[in-house]
Amino acid sequence: MTNPPASNVDSERTVFTVEGRPAAKPSDQPSADLQIASAGYFDALRIAVVAGRSLSDADGAANFVVAVISQTMATRFWPAGDAVGRRFKLGAADSSEPWITIVGVVGDVRQNWWNPAARAVIYRPFTQKPVRSMAMLLRTESAPGNYAASVRAVVKKLDSEIALLGINTLEEEVADSIAIVRIMGILMGVFGIVALALSSVGVYGVLSESVAQRTREIGIRYALGASHGDLMKLVLWQALRLTGLGLLIALPVSLGLSRTMASLVFGILKTDFGILLGFSLLLLVVAILAGYIPARRATRMDPLSALRYE
């Protein structure tokens, strides 16, 4: 086929005209991805035939022009489910292109990781629309890498002038196509850890200083008969209240940003409630330590020394 999945290249885009429904103006002209494929392409990738039939080697140049379309295209332009047998032509209504008969509808395939959803695709048979450059897909029963030499030998025997630019497994192609996403994920993880560390240090420093400034107050309360437990509850409650207020503001904002990014980069970013919960619990633990350590130090001071504390 001309553009296999995970190629990191957008497929050729073409406008077309549905028979009996010409576009009122050029801006309303529908478009779809155009792929040239052989008869075995859908079987090799296990793409289901939803209606009609697949491409066939019998679809030669002497027969009427046919095409298979994706389910998204069929649903969008023939919502009644009667796409098979309908006709369209590439280009505007007045183009000289021949009418193409739809002989089948196949399942959707998302071409590349940045596509937010499957797009409308037109599959034309290689026997009717040959091109100079194609990608060959081979489904094997065992390790795909073991077939590289055999494939080269068969291709050379068929035509010694055909150049094979490279043989990779589809898993390798997918891994290569999302390499930039993996690098971005690692960098975002590193930045997230740094941000978490800085926020934890900041929360600890602010709350610790706040409690330290109340050492005189703690000494007065202790001198008036407050118990260690009462003073500790007072300090920890203040620390948890401030941290909780910050989380009530931060969590909705982070959820909103996550949803926004997910809509811009489909499948790359998503809301992970486990990470949010872990982050929140960590900050709560830091807040408790930030309140407990200086409060414990203050309650162990002599009341007179606490009263004279500046």
- Per-residue pLDDT in tens (0 to 9) along the chain, 310 residues: 898 888 888 889 999 999 989 887 888 899 999 999 998 899 999 999 999 999 998 898 777 899 999 999 999 999 998 999 999 999 998 899 999 999 999 999 988 888 878 899 999 999 998 888 888 888 888 777 777 888 888 888 888 778 777 778 888 888 888 888 788 778 878 887 888 788 778 877 877 777 777 777 777 777 777 777 787 787 778 778 877 888 888 878 877 777 776 666 555 556 667 777 888 888 788 878 877 777 777 666 666 665 565 5
Residue-level pLDDT at 18: 94
108-159: per-residue pLDDT in tens? 998 888 887 889 999 999 999 888 888 888 888 877 777 788 888 888 888 8
Six token digits for residue 266: 């489909």
pLDDT at 268: 52
Give the global pTM.
0.66
Residue 203: what residue type? V
CA distance 291 to 219: 16
Nearest residue to 238 via CA among 288, 296, 293: 288
Q: Round to whole Å and give the CA distance between 221 and 214.
A: 11
How many whole angstroms separate alpha carbon 200 and alpha carbon 302?
A: 31
Residues 36, 124 contacting (CB under 8 angstroms): yes
CA distances from 189 to 193, 218, 254 (A): 6, 41, 15
Q: What does the DSSP assignment read for 154-174?
A: HHHHH-TT--------HHHHH
Label the pairing between strands 12-18 and 31-37: antiparallel
- pLDDT at position 53 is 94
